[in-house]
Amino acid sequence: MNAPAPIDYTQLFRLDNRTVVVIGAGSGIGRESAQALAAQGAHVVIADYAFDAAEATTALIQAQGGSAEAYQLNVLDDDAIDAAVERFGSAAALVFTAATNVRKRMEDYSMDEFDRVVNLNLRASFQLIRKFGTRFAANGGGSIIGFASIRAQVVEPGQGVYAATKAGLVQLAKTGAAEYGAAGVRVNVVAPGVVETPLTAQITANPEWYGAYASKSALGRWSRPDELAGAVVFLASDASTFVTGTTLTVDGGWTAIDGRYTPPAS
């Protein structure tokens, strides 16, 4: 494949005249990412299982002068994914953030809970990467951006199944990068640390748990959802034309720190 044209640095992060599909954009990181993409000129497809939430994000972007449309999508429905690819396969980028977690030790997990976490976090990711990847390849290129987690790298009790799905997503992204790269398709994942979203409400409701997580970060705090949006814009834009098969970690230094105790310097 020929290399892309030289980059105009004044347009490095601009997404004018490009469509980006954001799955899970009804709330949290997906909503913030959608706003950031729209602010850079993209037309953003706000896809979410909850259509009212998708409409709310769409209205928010339009009120800010951006371009967006709401779309209801159940990523557990293979036919629905096929329909989304058929309708939005000409997009320049796909972002997917939808995930779930059941925080239980392995011995306490039911297989129904296991299936629920694996199906949304891993099976749906597999379908999205290969379905959009194939269409993007036919179009001559595109960017696919998934959301993994620091749990793909480090774990704690009660995070086993969630961690396994996120580690699996990292490997799917690498494989997608390898299989579709020659056709100009880039596949990457963003790996957040602890972020204040509906998915972490169980933790934020517990002051001791919340504080322990905050102290683990090198920055001494949790992330806001909007602090992940820059990574998404980077991976969707021409600023990352030679970035693929990688994990962009945005964790406030969580995985840089060894242990939870700060020893004396001397």
- The vertex-207 CA angle with 204 and 208, nearest 5°, equals 115
The three-point CA angle 222-223-229 to 5° equals 175
Strand partners, 47: 23, 71
Distance, CA of 53 to CA of 49 (rounded, Å): 8
| Catalytic machinery residues | 162
* Nearby residues of 227 by Cβ (< 8 Å), 6 or more positions away: 195, 250
**What pLDDT score does 7 carry?**
80
pLDDT of res. 154: 93
- What's the pLDDT score for residue 199? 74
pLDDT tens per residue, range 181-231:
999 999 999 999 989 887 778 888 888 888 888 888 899 999 999 999 999
Could you give the 3-state DSSP secondary structure of residue 142? strand
Annotate 21-51 with three-state secondary structure.
Answer: EEECCCCHHHHHHHHHHHHCCCEEEEEECCH
pLDDT, residue 202, reads: 83
Domains and CATH numbers, the chain: 16-251 (3.40.50.720)
pLDDT by residue for the chain (266 residues), tens only, comes to 667 778 889 999 999 999 999 999 999 999 999 999 999 999 999 999 999 999 999 999 999 999 999 999 999 999 999 999 999 999 999 999 999 999 999 999 999 999 999 999 999 999 999 999 999 999 999 999 999 999 999 998 999 999 999 999 999 999 999 999 999 999 999 999 989 887 778 888 888 888 888 888 899 999 999 999 999 999 999 999 999 999 999 999 999 987 666 777 76
What digits encode the pLDDT tens for the residues 120-131?
999 999 999 999
pTM across the whole model: 0.93
What's the pLDDT at 94? 98
- Alpha-carbon span 22 to 30, nearest angstrom: 7
